[in-house]
Amino acid sequence: MKKIILILFLIGFILPSTAQMNRGMNRSGGLNDMSRYSKGDPQREKKDPVIETMKYLKEELSLDSFQEAAVKSYLLENIAESEKANAILINPEDKKTKFEELRKTFDEKTKSILRPDQIEKFTKLSEDAKGNKKSKKKKKKEEEN
C-alpha cells in the first residue's frame, strides 16, 4: 500500500513538471514559443532605408536611370549630413531646424532633376509624409493623456 501511494505521489509531481518543461523547450504551440522570433523571419529582417526609399520613389515617380542615380546620391548625402548633425548637435530644437534644412535641400535638389509631372507627384508625396508624421504625433499625445 505504501508503494502505491509513493508511486502516485511521484507521478503527481512528474507529470506537471514535464508539461511545463515542454512549453519552455521551444516546441511549436507552447506558450513560450520563441521560434517565430528567429533571425530568418522575413518580417523582422532589417531593410536598408536607401534601397527601400529608392524603390518607392522609382515606382511612384517613374524615374529614369539618370534621375534614379541622382536622387540616390542626394539621399546618401542627406543621410550622411543627418548623421553628422545628430552626433554634433545636442539641443533638440537645433536638431529639428537642421533636419528641416536638410529636408528642404534634398527636396530642392530632387525637384531640379524631375519633370513637371514628377514634381507634382513628389510634392504630394512629401505633403502626405508630413501629414502622416503629424497624425502619428497627435495619436501618441492622445494615448499619453
At residue 113, the pLDDT reads 94
pTM here is 0.60
Band (pLDDT 50/70/90 cuts) for residue 60 is very high
> Left if phi > 0, otherwise alpha if psi is -120 to 50, otherwise beta: which for 62?
left
**Continuous H helices in 25-115:** 49-61, 65-88, 92-113
Question: pLDDT tens digits for 81-108?
Answer: 999 988 988 888 998 999 999 999 999 9
Q: Does residue 117 register a pLDDT over 90?
A: yes
Are 111 and 125 a contacting pair, CB within 8 Å? no
Cell of 18: 514535464
Pairwise CA distance, residues 32 & 1, whole Å: 40
Q: Choose the weakest-confidence range: 7-16, 42-51, 58-67, 89-98.
A: 7-16
